[in-house]
Structure 1
């Protein structure tokens, strides 16, 4: 039996888990679905006398038998790549067929997923995550989603300090130079900075919570790994992703009420892994600001080894 790791060619986070599993003598097959159909041959069959698909993938160096897959680590697979002769509508049609074909076959695997992409997709929708978190007893910031500038101005004007955090709703940034995506950082906005451009699409504004620090909480099959994040950078005080060099980390415990809410949240979404961001205010209350079902974790040095081992335990099937 083998652990299937679905990720792109450059993924240092997946490399840590693969090295841990390999060191334990566990069979690992790393696969980038983006290599299909150019570098992979797919053949799978099902019929009236078979309840599961038989077959797999043949590559230039190694083959994959669907029946041998024990668990799947779904990380950061790249988009399907096609022959340069395919372009425009033909390429879009081919991409849709590739996702339905290969993606559909992989989705039928009856094994442990970390996490199944369908679960990630639902939990990754921010309005769904916020509403579900509130129902599970977690504190969330006061939030407005609107395409009306007057609604946005009124919301921000009634907040303490008359400032809000503006955060993109999607996980993908806008298209920059040559169509390459770039990150959209969180920004701190006042009433005067809200323009009529809000009309052009949905925008999310959240209560600005003065923080003592932030917490990155990583959960693996119910095991919780939490670290306080302190920063000395003005930019990182608004969005910690802008300046990792300014961070210092301090391992911490998760309050019982927060831990209970997190367990309910992940059980609701049927997630076995998640990375969650909390703002902790001056009174010590934890406010959930982001749920990422496929978030990074290796940037915290003190947690790199224990989280790697916890992920390997889950994929290997260790109790």
Structure 2
């Protein structure tokens, strides 16, 4: 029986889990769906011997039988790489067929998923995630999503200090130079900075929380791993991702009410793994600001090994 790891060739986070599984002598097959169809072949049939898909995935370096896959670690797979000679119209069609055929075949596997991509996709939408967080009993900052600049200015004007956090609803934006994705950091916004360009798409504005520190909470099933994140620069105090080198970390306990809310949130989305970002104000109140169903966890040194082992335990046990 095999653990299938779906990720791109360069993924240090997946490397940690794969190394742990190898140390335990657990069979692992690492494939990047981005290799399909140019560098990967699928052969699968149904209705020949039973009710499940039977067949094989053939990669550049490894093959795996569909029937041998007992758990799947869905990390950061690449996009399908189509033949460069295709016309734009043919490429759009081939992309859709690859997702429906190859992607659909993978998603149908009766295995333990960490996490199933459909569950990740649902939890990654901030409006859905924040609503589920509130229903789960977690605190979230007051949030407005709008494309009306007047409504945005009115919302920010009513906040303490007349300042809001502007956060992209997605995670990346095409670069002006080469269209490669680039991160969009959180920024502070005042009413006078909101102009008519807001009308061009949806924008998210959140109450600016006066924080003592942030917390990255990583959950692997019922196991919670949390660390305070203390910023050492102005950029990191606005968005810690902007300056990792300035950060310091301290392991911390999760308040019981927050722990209950996190587990309820995971149950709502049927997630086995999630990374959550909290702001903690000087009074000790935890505010959830981000739900990352496939978030990074290796950047906090003291939690790297415990989380690696917890994920390996889950994938090795593989009880769907």
TM-score, length-normalised on structure 1? 0.98
1:27-62 CA-to-partner distances (Å, cap 9, x unmatched) read: 000000010111111110012752100102123432
The residue number in structure 2 matching 1:89 is 89
SS of corresponding position for 1:178? coil
- The residue correspondences of 1:21-32 to structure 2 (distance < 5 A) are 21-32=21-32
Contact 1:139–1:287 under 8 Å retained in 2: yes
Aligned equivalents of 2:316, 2:79: Cα separation in 1: 27
Question: Gaps spanning 5+ residues in structure 1: where?
Answer: none
Deviation at 1:179, TM superposition (A): 1.3
Aligned equivalents of 1:108, 1:279: Cα separation in 2: 38
Aligned equivalents of 2:142, 2:7: Cα separation in 1: 36
Runs of 4+ off more than 3 Å: none
* Cα distance change of structure 1 residues 60 and 189 upon mapping to structure 2, 3 Å threshold: closer
The residue number in structure 2 matching 1:185 is 185
The residue number in structure 2 matching 1:70 is 70
SS of corresponding position for 1:310? helix
Aligned equivalents of 2:176, 2:104: Cα separation in 1: 32
Aligned equivalents of 2:308, 2:318: Cα separation in 1: 13
The residue number in structure 1 matching 2:238 is 238
Aligned equivalents of 1:218, 1:58: Cα separation in 2: 33
The residue number in structure 2 matching 1:3 is 3
Question: Gaps spanning 5+ residues in structure 2: where?
Answer: none
The residue number in structure 1 matching 2:173 is 173
Contact 1:221–1:273 under 8 Å retained in 2: yes
The residue number in structure 2 matching 1:20 is 20
Contact 2:7–2:76 under 8 Å retained in 1: yes
Question: Please, what is the CA RMSD of the aligned residues?
Answer: 1.2
State which drifts further: 40-49 or 140-149: 40-49
Aligned residue pairs total 319
Deviation at 1:318, TM superposition (A): 7.6
Aligned equivalents of 2:119, 2:188: Cα separation in 1: 31
Aligned equivalents of 1:255, 1:184: Cα separation in 2: 30
1:210-237 CA-to-partner distances (Å, cap 9, x unmatched) read: 1000000000011000000001210111
1:133-160 CA-to-partner distances (Å, cap 9, x unmatched) read: 0011000000000001000000000001
Contact 1:72–1:114 under 8 Å retained in 2: yes
Aligned equivalents of 1:162, 1:60: Cα separation in 2: 56
- The residue correspondences of 1:235-314 to structure 2 (distance < 5 A) are 235-314=235-314
Aligned equivalents of 1:9, 1:96: Cα separation in 2: 23
SS of corresponding position for 2:298? coil
The residue number in structure 2 matching 1:144 is 144
SS of corresponding position for 2:237? helix
The residue number in structure 2 matching 1:121 is 121
* Cα distance change of structure 1 residues 60 and 244 upon mapping to structure 2, 3 Å threshold: closer
Contact 2:112–2:318 under 8 Å retained in 1: no
